[in-house]
Structure 1
Amino acid sequence: MTRLEGLDAARYLAFCGMVLVNFRIAAEVAPGTGWASTLIDALEGRAAALFVVLAGIGVSLSRIAAGLLLRRAAFLFALGMVNMTIFEADILHFYALYFVVGAAFLTARPGLLWTGALGIVAAAFVAVSLFNYDAGWDWESLTYSDLWNLPGFLRNTVFNGWHPVLPWAAFLLIGMAIGRSDLRTLCIQHRLILWGLAAALAALIPQYLPQDPELALYFGTESIPPGPFYILAGTGTACVTIGLTLKLWPVIERLRIGRFLTAPGRQALTLYVAHILIGMGALDAFDLLDGSLSAPQIVAIALGFCALCSIYAVIWQKIFPRGPLEGLMRRVTEPGRTG
C-alpha cells in the first residue's frame, strides 16, 4: 500500500499543537485573552485527539497483528512511565492502553468500531456521574497527589488523568473506523471535512442551551473533564484536519515543502520525547519554567522548536529510514525482522 503522506503531515501538525500546549503547561503561563492564548486554548485537547485518531487510522492501514500491537503497547507503556518521572502529563502510557483496547477490535467492521467508541464515551459519562472526578487533583497547581500509588495511578489512568482511557480510547476506535475507508478518494476526503465541520459545530450547541450549572462543564468542549461533546468536537476537528491535509497534499508537494511535514511526522514518537527532554529541558536551563513567559513568547519558542525538529527530521531521514525511538521500538517488538 502506497503511504498516505498527508497523514504524516497531519501527525506533524498534531505534534506542533501538543508542543504549544505542553510548553505552556510546563512554563506555567497564566491564561489570557490575547491571540496567543486563544490559539493555545483552541489547540488544547484537540492536538492530542488528532494524534490518537491518526494512531487508529495507522492501525487499520497497517493491518497489524494483535500480538505485535500489544508488544508495541508494552514498549510505549514502559517508555511513558519513564517519561512521567519528568512530565506527569505524559500521553505515551495512555496511548499504550488505547492500543490494548484497539487490539480487541482489530477485525471489527466500521459499524462495530463506532459502536465501541460510543460505548466507551457512555461508560465515561456513567463513571463521572458515579465517582468524584476531582479526586487526587490540585487544580491550582495541576498536580495529582497520589499518582504514584496503585489506586491513584489506576484512577488517573482510567478515569480522571490528562488523557484517561475512559473516554480517550474512543478516539483510537474512531480512527480505526476512518482507516477502513479509502482515504485516497476525494469523496472520502470531502466527507471528512464536511462531516468533521458539522460535528465540531454541533458540539458547541449545548453551551447555548439552559442546563444545570453542575453539568455545564461536562457538557462543554473542554478536554478536562472530557465529556461527550468534547469527544464530538475533538473528532470533528481531527476529521477536518485529516481531510484537508489529504486533499491539499498535491498542492503542498508542488510547493516543495512536503518533506518538512512528512519527515517529522514519521518521527512523532522521537520528537514527542525530545520536546520534553530537550525542549522543556532548555526552558528549565534558562529558568523559564517559573511563569515569567507570556503566551506570545511561548508560541514563538514552541514554533521555533517545531521548525528545528522539522529540519532535524529531514536530515536524519536522508541517513536512516526511521527515527531513533521508532527504530528502537521496531528492534524490541520485532526482533526477527530486518530492514
Structure 2
Amino acid sequence: MPTSARLDGLDFARFIAFVGMVLVNFTVAMGAEGQGSFLATTFVGTLEGRAAATFVVLAGIGLGLAANKAANKHDFNDHLIWLTSKRALFLLALGLLNSLIFDADILHYYALYFFFGVFFIRMSSAGLIFSIVALLVGFVIMLLTLDYDVGWDWKTYTYKNFWTLEGFVCNLFFNGWHPVVPWLAFFLFGILLSRLSLNQIQTQLQLFIFGLIALLTVEGLSLLTLALLAGAEQDLLDIATTEPLPPMPYYMIAGMASACMVLAFSLWVSSKAIGLSKTAGLRLCNNIGRQTLTLYVAHILLGMGTLEALGLLDGQNASGTTDDAIIASGVFLIATTLYIWAYSKFFTRGPIENLMRLITR
C-alpha cells in the first residue's frame, strides 16, 4: 500500500472515532446516559471512552510516522521537538478556552500528550512497552494512595477547583477526564504501532485479531474480577472496571484493543482496489477525518450550543434519552457532511488546522 493510502486509512479511522465521540458527548451533555432503549444505551455505552482513546492512539501514530519520515534528517530531533512543542502550546491555549464552556475538553490534555510524547519517539519498542506498563501501574498506585474524588462533584460532573493551580495540576495528571497518567500510554502505544508494517494486509489482519481477542479477554476478566470482589470496597472494585472513570488497566487495555480494531479496519478499507480516492463517499469520510480538530470545536460550540438553545441539555429540565441523543448526533453529522462537502472543494485542511499551521510553522 502506498504511503498516501496508509494516511487515508488514518483519516478514515479519525472519522470513525469522531462519529463515536459525537454520540458519546451528546449523550452525556443531554444527561441521557442509561436512559432509553436497550439497543441504544448498549451501543453508546460500548463507545464511551473508546472513541477518545482511539483519537489519542491515532495521534501517537501520526507523530511516530512523522518521526520515521524525518529520521534521516540531521536536525530532525530538534526540529520535531520544537514544532511539536509549539503545536502543543496551541492546543493547550485552545483547550483552556474550550474548557470555559465544556468541562470535558480533551484538547488541553492532548497538548501534554504531544509535549511528553515527542521525547519518546526515539525510544526502543521495549522501552515504550515498559513505559506503557509503568503508566498503568503508576495510576493504580496513585488511586490507592490519593483521593480520586478530590475536586469532583459527581452529581453534576463538574470539577470545582479546576482553575486553581493545585486543582488544575491534579486534574491534568491524575483525576481529570483524560489525565496524563495513564492516558499518555495511549499516545505511546500509537508510537509503537507506527513502527509496524501497517501497509501489509497480514499486519492489518493480525492487528484486528489481536484487538478482538484482547478486548474480549479483558471484558471477561473484568466481569470475573468484579464477581470475585463482590462486596469489597469501592477502590478495589474500581480496579476491575472497564469504564473510563477511573481509567484502570482493564479500561486502558480495552481502549488500545478497540483502537487496533478501528485502525486495522480503516487501513484495510483504504487498501481495497476501489480505493478511497475513487469512492466519493469514502473520500468524504476522509475529508471529515482530516478536519477533526475543527469539527471537535464545532460539535461543542454549534452542536451543543444548538441543544442548549432548544432546552435539551442536562439541567434544563429536559428528559432526553439515548435514542434522542443518537438522533441529535445524526442531525449534526449530516450537517457536518454537507459542510465538509462544500468546504473541501476549496480547502484541504479545516480552519483551525490551517490556523495552527500558520501560527506554529
**TM value normalised by structure 2:** 0.89
**Structure 2 residue aligned with 1:276:** 300
Match of 1:337 in 2: none
Which one-letter code corresponds to 1:277 in the other structure? L
- AA matched with 2:200: T
Name the residue aligned to 1:42: 46
State whether structure 2 residue 155 is matched by structure 1 residue 140: yes
**Alpha-carbon distance in 1 for matches of 2:138, 2:27:** 31
Determine what percentage of the aligned residue pairs are the same residue: 41
Do structure 1's residue 241 and structure 2's residue 258 form an aligned pair? Answer: no
Matched residue, 1:307: 334
Contact persistence 2:161–2:168 (CA under 8 A)? yes
Return the match for 1:60 from 59, 64, 74.
64
CA distance in 2 between partners of 1:106 and 1:185 (Å): 22
Contact preservation (8 Å) 1:16, 1:303? no
CA contact (8 A) 2:15 2:288 kept: yes
* Per-residue deviation, 1:167: 0.6
Distance 1:67 1:324, change over 3 A: same
What CA distance in whole angstroms lies between the structure 1 residues aligned with 2:160 and 2:356? 32
The runs of 5 or more residues in structure 2 that have no matched partner are: 71-79
Please report how far the alpha carbon of residue 255 of structure 1 lies from its aligned counterpart in structure 2 after TM superposition. 5.4
Q: Check the 8 A contact 1:259/1:314 in 2, yes or no.
A: no
Aligned to 2:286: 262
1:24 counterpart residue number: 27
Structure 2 counterpart of 1:225, from 246, 252, 258? 246
Find the aligned partners of 1:168 and 1:69 in 2 and give their Cα distance.
18
Contact 1:207 1:216 (C-alpha < 8 Å) held by counterparts: no
* Of 72-81 and 115-124, the range deviating more from structure 2: 115-124
CA RMSD of aligned residues (A): 1.5
CA distance in 2, matches of 1:264, 1:66: 27
Secondary structure of the corresponding residue to residue 257 of structure 1: helix
Q: d(CA) in 1 for partners of 2:39 and 2:258?
A: 19
Aligned to 2:75: none
Equivalents in 1 of 2:201, 2:171: separation in Å? 41
> Structure 1-normalised TM-score?
0.95
Does the Cα contact within 8 Å between 1:53 and 1:175 map onto a contact in 2? yes
User: Given the superposition, is the C-alpha separation of residues 213 and 252 from structure 1 closer, same or farther in structure 2, using an over 3 Å criterion?
Assistant: farther
1:83 aligns with 2:98: yes
Write out per-residue CA displacement over residues 253-279 of structure 1, whole angstroms, 9 at most, x where no aligned residue.
Answer: 465421121001000100000000000
Cα drift, residue 3 of structure 1: 4.9
TM-superposed CA distance for 1:117, in Å, is: 1.3
What is the CA distance between 1:331 and its match in structure 2?
Answer: 0.5
* SS in structure 2 of the partner of residue 318 of structure 1: coil
Q: Which deviates the most, 165-174 or 250-259?
A: 250-259
Mind listing any 5+ residue stretches in structure 1 that lack a counterpart?
Answer: 335-339
Which stretch shifts more, 22-31 or 34-43? 22-31
Q: 1:252 & 1:136 partners in 2: Cα distance?
A: 49
1:2 aligns with 2:4: yes
Q: Partner letter of residue 307 of structure 1? A: I
- Which 10-residue stretch deviates more, 110-119 or 123-132? 110-119
Which residue identity is paired with 2:285? L
Matched residue count: 334
Question: Which of these residues, 107, 123, 141, is aligned with residue 92 of structure 1?
Answer: 107
* Letter matched to residue 60 of structure 2: G
Letter in 2 for 1:225: P
C-alpha separation between the residues in 2 aligned to 1:12 and 1:219?
30
CA distance in 1, matches of 2:134, 2:342: 44
Counterpart Cα distance in 1 of 2:103 and 2:217: 32
Task: Quickly say closer, same or farther: Cα 1:15–1:113, change in 2 above 3 A.
Answer: same
Which runs of 4 or more aligned residues in structure 1 lie more than 4 Å from their structure 2 counterparts after TM superposition?
none
